[in-house]
């Protein structure tokens, strides 16, 4: 009988469709913990995005089909995520003990005042989180909304690559899931800050007592460094990006190009932390988990460790995890911080979810 109540949930591929790369993670769970069965990273060969909106479907479709081939699995179920200015998540405060119908009506009223789009142009979702610690007699409800075009485009592309999307998450919450599942937290009552810096966004996610208490996106990323390298070293942008992430850039780019970007990145991280501290009246974090493309560039990480004045660790979601022996563990270690969002999406297969 026990096995009936501990039914193993089927694995789901975490599919992170970024603006410059697509990352995928395939995880499973056994009696000893988690197992990384497969992963893939594929560059998008053209500038396929404007902000977070897809402009070139073909190049993304090609990358997704390559992802499918590299994973080499019959699994079709996949989770995707969205981010950007067309995505909103906010805690709202509601009366307790409402029916789903009553709660949905109230949420629509709240959403109408929060969302800068007509309600018929967005997908809405909400989840009751429990009693509010700040508003007596109310419950916290997480309201999430995303423009339909943003969601539908990713679902269409995933299906074209023979994936079956099951969940559409928000990238910052996927980061939070990855930290909660795959990073040991010694003091859960002390806020843990994760900073994810990809091609176009700097995302901050703060976790406390097993819950995401703060998220925010800032427009800053590796694109500016790639553009500088391309201009200064007179190589095309795609080559500059590939060599930067592969660690094969020639010349003295670490001395002549990287310091300016590192200073700008430090400034943007400090600004993001200041917004968090002001919003929640919180103390400055003493430790940061760094993920995303920036965390795969060792000289950049070294500069941040020296100048930021905060303990900084790169987040490897697979540290201590069993790894499929067919995978190149050395290559995995280099790219692991880039896979945080995809790992967080894949972790959704370890907890029940509803349609």
The per-residue pLDDT for 90 is: 85
Instruction: Parse the chain into domains and list their residue ranges.
Output: 1-86+148-183+316-355, 185-314
Tokens encoding 47: 């500038």
The per-residue pLDDT for 3 is: 42
Question: What is the β-pairing status of strands 87-94 and 211-218?
Answer: unpaired
The per-residue pLDDT for 206 is: 96
Lay out the sheet containing 311-314: strands in order across.
211-218, 202-208, 192-197, 287-291, 311-314
The per-residue pLDDT for 7 is: 55
Cβ atoms of residues 161 and 61 within 8 Å: yes
Alpha helix (H) ranges present in the chain? 2-5, 57-71, 100-114, 148-160, 171-182, 223-232, 237-246, 253-256, 258-280, 298-307, 329-335, 340-346
The per-residue pLDDT for 99 is: 78
Q: pLDDT tens for residues 40-79?
A: 999 998 788 877 788 889 999 999 999 999 999 999 999 9
The per-residue pLDDT for 46 is: 79
The per-residue pLDDT for 5 is: 41
The per-residue pLDDT for 8 is: 65
What pairs with residue 57 in β-bridges?
A: none
The per-residue pLDDT for 249 is: 86
DSSP string, 85-122: TTEEEEEEEE-SS--HHHHHHHHHHHHHHH-SS-GGGE
Lay out the sheet containing 122-131: strands in order across.
87-94, 139-147, 122-131
- Residue 22 to residue 115: CA distance in whole angstroms: 28
Share of the chain above pLDDT 90, in %: 61
Cβ atoms of residues 214 and 206 within 8 Å: yes
The per-residue pLDDT for 4 is: 40
The per-residue pLDDT for 1 is: 36
CATH topology for 185-314 is Nucleotidyltransferase; domain 5 (3.30.420)
CB neighbourhood size of 28 (10 A): 18
Ranges under pLDDT 50 in the chain: 1-6, 355
Question: What is the β-pairing status of strands 287-291 and 192-197?
Answer: parallel
Nearest to 220 by CA among 288, 282, 154, 271: 271
Task: Name which CATH class applies to 1-86+148-183+316-355.
Answer: alpha beta
Which positions ≥6 away from 273 have C-beta within 8 Å? Answer: 193, 204, 284, 285
């Amino acid at each position: 009988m026990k096995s009936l109540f501990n039914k193993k949930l089927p694995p789901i591929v975490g599919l992170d469709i970024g603006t410059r790369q697509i990352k995928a993670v395939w995880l499973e769970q056994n009696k000893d913990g988690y197992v990384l069965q497969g992963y893939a990273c594929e560059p998008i060969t053209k500038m396929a995005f404007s902000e977070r909106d897809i402009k070139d479907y073909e190049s993304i479709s090609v990358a997704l089909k390559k992802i499918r081939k590299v994973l080499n699995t019959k699994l079709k179920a996949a989770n995707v995520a969205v981010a950007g200015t067309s995505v909103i998540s906010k805690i709202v405060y509601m009366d307790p003990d409402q029916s789903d119908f009553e709660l949905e009506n109230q949420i629509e009223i709240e959403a109408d005042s929060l969302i800068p789009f007509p309600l018929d142009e967005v997908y809405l979702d909400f989840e009751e989180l429990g009693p509010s610690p700040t508003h007596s007699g109310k419950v916290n409800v997480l309201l999430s909304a995303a423009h339909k075009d943003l969601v539908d485009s990713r679902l269409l592309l995933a299906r074209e690559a023979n994936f079956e999307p099951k969940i559409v998450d928000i990238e910052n919450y996927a980061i939070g899931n990855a930290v909660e599942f795959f990073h040991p937290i010694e003091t859960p009552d002390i806020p843990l800050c994760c900073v994810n810096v990809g091609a176009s966004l700097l995302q901050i996610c703060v976790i406390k007592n097993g819950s995401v208490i703060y998220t925010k996106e800032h427009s800053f990323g590796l694109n500016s460094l790639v553009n500088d390298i391309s201009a200064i070293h007179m190589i095309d942008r795609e080559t500059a990006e590939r060599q930067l992430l592969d660690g094969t850039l020639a010349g003295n780019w670490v001395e002549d190009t990287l310091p300016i970007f590192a200073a700008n990145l430090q400034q943007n991280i400090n600004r993001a932390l200041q917004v968090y501290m002001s919003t929640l009246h919180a103390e400055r974090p003493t430790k940061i988990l760094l993920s995303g493309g920036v965390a795969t560039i060792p000289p950049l990480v070294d500069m941040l460790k020296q100048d930021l004045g905060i303990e900084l660790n790169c987040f490897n979601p697979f540290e201590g995890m069993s790894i499929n022996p067919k995978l190149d563990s050395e290559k995995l270690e280099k790219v692991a911080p880039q896979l945080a969002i995809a790992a967080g999406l894949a972790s959704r297969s370890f907890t029940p979810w509803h349609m």
